Structure 1
Amino acid sequence: MSQPTQNKTTSAFYAQAGISFGLALLAMVVAVLYLPVDPWMRAFLALGTLYLTTSAFTLAKCVRDAQETSSVVSRLDQARVDKILADHDPFRSVS
């Protein structure tokens, strides 16, 4: 039986994702700092930016964990099917 192919993420994709995230967060922080508003409004926007950032990391971890779990379940199911097929002898007489 063929093994399921695993998607490998390239280092260039990791770099692009990290740089993109860093630039977006930096732009948001600079915008909050230089926004001509009262300090309490700036603090509210900064807190919102922090909350959005931590929520994005949490969501990414949850999605990754769900994908890994389904991958493990799929591999276990495939192993069970492989064992059943390996143990099956079509020429054995049924008694």
Structure 2
Amino acid sequence: MLVPMIDTPVKQQNTAAFYGQAVASFAVALAATAIGIFQLEADPWVRAFLGIAVLYLVTSAFTLAKVIRDRQELGQKL
């Protein structure tokens, strides 16, 4: 007897530890980058430019992650 396969989506949940580690990792990386830019021996405008570039990169990464997640939830391929 053949049993029909039913496609049931698997709901993955992240643990609190995984969430905490992701937040801590992000905070450490952002703080280390900010300290590195602040300690850089360069003109203030160069440091300001690098700071703005890092902020742009961070917001772009969040946007990209959200778009990928939204498309995955809809079941579409990139």
Which TM-score applies when normalising by structure 1? 0.68
Distance 1:20 1:51 in 2: 19
Whose relative contact order is higher, 1 or 2, with alpha carbons under 8 Å and at least 6 apart? Answer: 1
Q: How many residues align?
A: 71
Q: Using the TM superposition, give the Cα deviation of residue 2 of structure 1 relative to its aligned residue in structure 2, in angstroms.
A: 6.2
Q: Using the TM superposition, give the Cα deviation of residue 65 of structure 1 relative to its aligned residue in structure 2, in angstroms.
A: 0.6
Distance 1:68 1:51 in 2: 26
- In the alignment, what sits opposite 2:11? 6
What is the aligned-residue identity percentage? 49
Instruction: Return the structure number with greater helix share.
Output: 1
**Residue 48 (structure 1) aligned with residue 50 (structure 2):** no
Q: What are structure 2's unaligned runs of at least 5 residues?
A: 1-5
Distance 1:38 1:53 in 2: 23
- In the alignment, what sits opposite 1:25? 30
Q: Using the TM superposition, give the Cα deviation of residue 67 of structure 1 relative to its aligned residue in structure 2, in angstroms.
A: 1.0
CA RMSD of aligned residues (A): 1.5
Aligned residue for 2:42, secondary structure, equals: coil
